[in-house]
Structure formats: structure tokens, C-alpha cells
Amino acid sequence: MGRTSFFVSLLAVANCVAAAPWKGEIKKEHGVTYKCKCYSDNKCWPTGAQWAALNTTVSGALRIARPPGAVCHNNIGNMSTYDASKCSEITAKWTDEQTMTDDPIANLWPFYTNNTCLPTTNPSDPCTQGFYGEYVIIATKKEHIKIGVDFARDHNLRLIIRNTGHDFMGRSTGYGSLIINTHSFKDATFIKKYTGPGDWTGSAATVGVGVQGRELYRQAFAQDPKVVIVGGECPTVGWAGGYVQGGGHGPLSTIYGMGADNVLSFDAITAKGEYVTANAEKNPDLFWALKGGGPSTFAVLTSVTVKTFPEVPVAGTILNINSTHTNDTKVFDEGFRIFHNLSNHYVENGMFVYFELQSGRLHIQPFVGPRLNAKQVKEVLKPLFTQLDAKKIPYDTVTKEFPTFFEFYMDMFEDEIPNQNSVVGGRLFTQKDIAKNGDEIAKALLFANQPTNDTLGFSVGHIVNPGHGNPVVDNAIHPKWRNASSFVITNILMSGTESWELKQIRADQQTNVVGAALRKAGPDGATYVNEGDLNEPNWQESYWGSNYPKLLQIRKKWDPEGVFYTQTTPGTEDWDVIDYGTKLCKKT
């Protein structure tokens, strides 16, 4: 789009009426009175001239936020959007995670965008903005982020910080918002000896907030000597963004702890638009909160300095039990029970296990054995295979070994498929719960495959214990993670085109049918900030435990006005998204 047409478009969608004294509207819903953020149908909405001035201030980095599927439709609102070539391209790459994370505004799980503008073969199909934002700043400099934060604060706009959109809980999108995209911050610098605050004197890396997991693993492997960093299992996760701020588990977490456990320093921009460093000496309260206190909650990160470790040999095993082996439900269920009841055994041996579970299908890829060779992994897994064989559970399996974690990761981990729709929940099961109540936990997880007659489920499991290798930490992560054994994400599958009323029913089923079964089976457990139920009961305790009061106090200090918002994060108790999932408002 040329500069002239861009500004014409800006002016066309802007409301040029002067701002009212209160920069927002007063709304009432279900008997509750709210003061809302400012939206395009309010008098307070910035004028076209103000948006144009913002664009100039950020050196032309402001864009109209177009849903990625808009290029397959004739128009969105009054704006022509069809482009046959781009439509063909986005259609072909709709299930490619890297393509979707590189888009300025896409959410990899479009359920939270309202699925209102998807790729189509009929350009006449309607396309609306859905729950996407209105504008996006594609930030390439720290100054762009600061300017965006200041503009959102001064105009009382909903602000979304978007890095990759790799987000099960819809926190990377928000109706009518100003989005700041931080995906371009790709620098990573490695140092052999850290000399900053704290007691760490080993190697480290300073990582730009836009660096993704596989990119970071590649750069760590290219060092001399080669090093590793605690990252996620998914290659496209924005490592220094929501991953670390939520805690961050991954294939090396059982031996080195969670991602946030290993952070040495943050560079960030606050709700007041101030550049700050947070570490053991500077702003230690903010440092503590950013290590697991919730994404887009206390500040916008620009870079993170983190510990690195020497490369390690790794062996891994794949195991499958599915319809090619058995269609007997009892046999399948017994196989899953045997596998999952050994969770404590796996983590006691330093392992991480990734598995997928649905009706008639258990796919484990892989069992991860850091510092182990193939013979040692097979020895650790001997109780599993002995029990499966004794019960005549059919399966297939393969074990491989690698000289480094990176080579193992590139060979044995699989990419995820984006643009699926589901309502998400989950539960962290502790070693105590697995030991005392393993059979009931297995039943609850199998129940989640089809919790009601009209629903199907799909679960993603991570058997991991960060406390095994890092038992004592001082950060915001729920203390239950130190005694973890298995963390499972549950999904109620959907098409994404359901009515608003049916979406609410499915959300209720996730919370009060599936979630209730998980909580009952694992009463000593907790939930995970980055991958959980937005309607989790008593979410403050469930996500953070005894850390929550301190987190709330820190949030009130660093963002008293509520410039930042992601649902179910500290300090958001009085905020709701009302009016059918659109406007963000605060109870009066």
C-alpha cells in the first residue's frame, strides 16, 4: 500500500470527533457497571490525524491490522483486500507454523479471533475484523515499542503485545486494540563468562524478544564450544516473550529447571514508557515478577539474558499405541494407565516426555533422556515395557541416540499444526498425586478424550519435573512446579464456527466437566500460566499459589492504570471482556 492510500485508509476508519473527558465509555452488563477502554465507535478514538502522526513517529511502522485470510476476500469493510497470488500463498501455508508466526497479527489458534476471515475459494464470502486489533506497529526499534505504549496509555486503548501468536489462550489478540509486534527483535549475543549481577559465572546469552525456539537452538549449537539453552519443545515459540514470562518448560527442564529459572537479566519498557533493566541488583521486584508472573503483564520485554550450558548427549524413544495395534478400548486404556503411572519414575531419571492422547491413540514422541545413551534409556524404560508386555499391550517403538541435544531435537521433535480450534484447559499433577492417585488421574485424562456425548477431546502431555535439577529458586513460578511430574493440556475440539452460545457451553464443559475431573484426580496439583483454562476457578491460587499476593503488589506498582492486560494474570480481577467477547472494561 502506498503512503497516500495508507493515510486515506487511516482516515476512513477513524472517528474525528474530539475526545471526551473520560477516554472510554460507561457500559452495563449483567447488572455490573464498567468503564471501558476506548474503541472506534467512541468519541475518544484517536483522529485520523493522530494515527497519521503516530505512523510518522514510528517511521512508517504503523499498519492497518488485516487478518491473514483477508487477501482471499473481496473486501473487509470498505477496504478492497483480494489478491489472488497472496491468497494462493496463504492458503498453501495455512498450516505452516513459521508462516503464521511471521504474520504481523495472526493467532495460531484462530478460535480466539472469532474465525471471521479465513482463506476461501469464494472471494465474495464475508470477511470481518473479528476479535483482531485495529492497527499494528511492526516494531524494529525499542523506541517504536515505547511510542506505542505511550500512545495506548494516553488514549486509553487496549494494547496487545504480539510476538509469534503461538498462544493457546488467545492473549495475542484483542478486539479493537493497538498491537505492538515485537517479532523483529532477532539479535542474540553469546558470552563465555557472565560478569553481571548474581552468582552465575558460567556462559550466557542475551536474546532479543523476537527470537524463536529453533532459531535459538541453532545459534547455541553454532557456538564454540557448543551450548544449550532451556527452551520449549515447539520450534516456533517466541522464547524471550510469553514463554519465559509464563515460566517456560521444555525438553531440558528436568535437568536444568524452567526457562525463567535460568534468567539473569531483563531489558524492558514499562507501562509508563520507561526503559528499565531488571536483575538481581536493578529493580529486583520487577525481575522476580517477570520470571513466571505472566505474559504482557508487568512490562514489554525487549531482550533477556539467560544462562547457557554445555551441550549434552541425548537419547530418545518413540512409542505408539493406536488402531494399528488394537481397537480394544480396555487394552488401550490399560496401556495408557501403565505408561502414565510411571511418570515419577521417568523424571527421577532426569527425563522429559512429550505425548499426545486422544481416543484410541497414544503417540509418545519422544521420551527425552539428557546425558543418557540408547542403552541407558532402554534401561530406564524397562519397567514400562515389562508391564506392557505382561498385559499383552501391543505397541511399536524405536530408540535413537545423538551426540548433542540439538541433533536429537532436530531429528525427533515434530512441528505442530496451527489453525486448529479448541477450548483449552489442563492440569499440573505432582509426584504426590501420581504416587497416591495415578489410576484416577489416568481415568480422568482418558475421560477428557470424550467428556460428553457431543464432544471430542485431544490432550498434549509433558512429563517433567523442574525441581529435579533446580529444586530451589526465587521467582514467581508456582512452587508446585518443584514437585511436578506430569503437565497435561486438554482440548475440547471445535470447528470455530459455532454460535456464541455454543462456545460458552464448550468453555463451561472444559472448566466444569473436564477440569473438574482433573482437579478431583489431582488435588495436590496446580495449573500453568501459559497453557490453561481462562475460566479456571480460583485462578490466582491455581496459577501462582503462595506467590500471588506479592505479584499483585508488584503489578499495582508497575502498572497501576492497567495499560497491559492478558486474561487471568495478576491484577486483572476487576477487568472483563464484555459485549460478546469484544470490549475490555473495568468494574466501577
User: Domain limits of the chain?
Assistant: 3-181, 188-310, 314-545
Q: Which residues pair with 76 in a beta bridge?
A: 79
Q: Which residues contact 77 (CB under 8 A, 6 or more apart)?
A: 13, 128, 129
Name the grid cell of 11.
482516515
pLDDT of residue 121: 97
pLDDT of residue 22: 64
Helix (H, G, I), strand (E, B) or coil at 204: strand
Separation between Cα atoms, residue 519 and residue 542, nearest integer Å: 10
Q: What is the CB neighbour count within 10 angstroms for residue 435?
A: 13
Order the strands of the 62-64 sheet from edge to edge.
Answer: 62-64, 135-138, 178-181, 159-162
The predicted-structure confidence for 515-567, as pLDDT tens digits, reads as follows 999 999 999 999 999 999 999 999 999 999 999 999 999 999 999 999 999 99
Q: What is the CB neighbour count within 10 angstroms for residue 19?
A: 17
Q: What topology is assigned to 314-545 in CATH?
A: Vanillyl-alcohol Oxidase; Chain A, domain 3 (3.40.462)
- C-alpha distance from residue 256 to each of 291, 297, 308 (Å): 15, 26, 10
pLDDT of residue 75: 97
Domain 3-181 class in CATH: alpha beta
Instruction: Compute the C-alpha angle 219/221/225, nearest 5°.
Output: 115
Q: What topology is assigned to 188-310 in CATH?
A: 3.30.465
pLDDT of residue 53: 98
Name the strand (E) or helix (H) holding 364. strand 361-370
pTM, two decimals, is: 0.94
Mean residue pLDDT across the chain: 95
Name the grid cell of 530.
501459559
Q: What is the CB neighbour count within 10 angstroms for residue 520?
A: 12
pLDDT of residue 21: 60
pLDDT of residue 4: 44
pLDDT by residue for the chain (588 residues), tens only, comes to 444 444 444 444 444 444 446 688 999 999 999 999 999 999 999 999 999 999 999 999 999 999 999 999 999 999 999 999 999 999 999 999 999 999 999 999 999 999 999 999 999 999 999 999 999 999 999 999 999 999 999 999 999 999 999 999 999 999 999 999 999 999 999 999 999 999 999 999 999 999 999 999 999 999 999 999 999 999 999 999 899 999 999 999 999 999 999 999 999 999 999 999 999 999 999 999 999 999 999 999 999 999 999 999 999 999 999 999 999 999 999 999 999 999 999 999 999 999 999 999 999 999 999 999 999 999 999 999 999 999 999 999 999 999 999 999 999 998 889 999 999 999 999 999 999 999 999 999 999 999 999 999 999 999 999 999 999 999 999 999 999 999 999 999 999 999 999 999 999 999 999 999 999 999 999 999 999 999 999 999 999 999 999 999 999 999 999 999 999 999 999 999 999 999 999 999
* Phi and psi torsions of 306, nearest 5°: -140, 155
pLDDT of residue 3: 45
pLDDT of residue 23: 83
pLDDT of residue 305: 98
pLDDT of residue 275: 98
H helix intervals, 136-274: 142-155, 213-221, 244-246, 253-256
Helix (H, G, I), strand (E, B) or coil at 218: helix
Number of alpha helices (DSSP H) and beta strands (DSSP E) in the chain? 20, 24
The predicted-structure confidence for 299-340, as pLDDT tens digits, reads as follows 999 999 999 999 999 999 999 999 999 999 999 999 999 999
pLDDT of residue 461: 98
Closest CA to 533 of 551, 512, 549, 555: 512
